[in-house]
Amino acid sequence: MRRFLFLLASARPGGNSEDLARAAAEGLPAGSEARWWSLAARPLPPFVDRRHAGGFRPPRGRARELAEATLAATDLVLVTPVYWYALPAAAKLYFDHWTGWMRVPSLDFRARIRHKRLWAVVADAGEPGEDTASLLLEGLVRTADYLELEWMGALQGHGSAPGEALREPGVQDGIRTFFTGSRG
């Protein structure tokens, strides 16, 4: 069974990236399970890099819940707007925590995350045809390569005001088949 973890990274609930993801989730493969996690509503504690200061301890509280949810998923879907050509702070913090989780022997994070699928649903305030998400997406592709995740691609929409991305001409064509269509 496929288990999708949708990681909502926007600082605004119900924004364009979330609209796109919820519409696309209606087309998940049959028998799939979907779990939604708002990184803003359920924030992680600040990340402290302890690589050279005693090492990392197993995550506790919310960080442990999210590490377990991440490892239980077969498919990780980062649902994010583009903020200043990059990930929002909540998504960056999530990936910063991976740095620690990879160094906790009892989690075996690096080995257990290998071969999971990584997807992105991205909304930006640029005009269709503008390349405002390329740096963000390049970072996700590099993350996938580094950890041997399968990069599944990105569903992109444009819009600033709520609902605009769903009204963008042509976006509906890709929504229905995003999680089941072939990747090129």
Question: Can you give 52-77 as a three-state secondary structure string?
Answer: CCCCCCCCCHHHHHHHHHHHHCCEEE
The amino acid present at 45, given as its one-letter code, is: P
- Would you identify the CATH topology of the domain 3-45+73-96+112-175? Rossmann fold (3.40.50)
Tell me what pLDDT residue 184 has.
40
Position of tokens 């990105």? 154
Distance CA 24, CA 177 (A): 7
CA-to-CA distance for 119 and 15, rounded, in angstroms? Answer: 18
Query: In the chain, which residues have pLDDT < 50?
Result: 182-184
pTM of the model: 0.94
Residue tagged 């069974």 (tokens)? 1
125, 12 contact by CB (below 8 A): no
Neighbour-count burial for 122-147, b at 16+ CB within 10 Å, e otherwise: bbbbbeeeeebbeebbeebbeebeeb
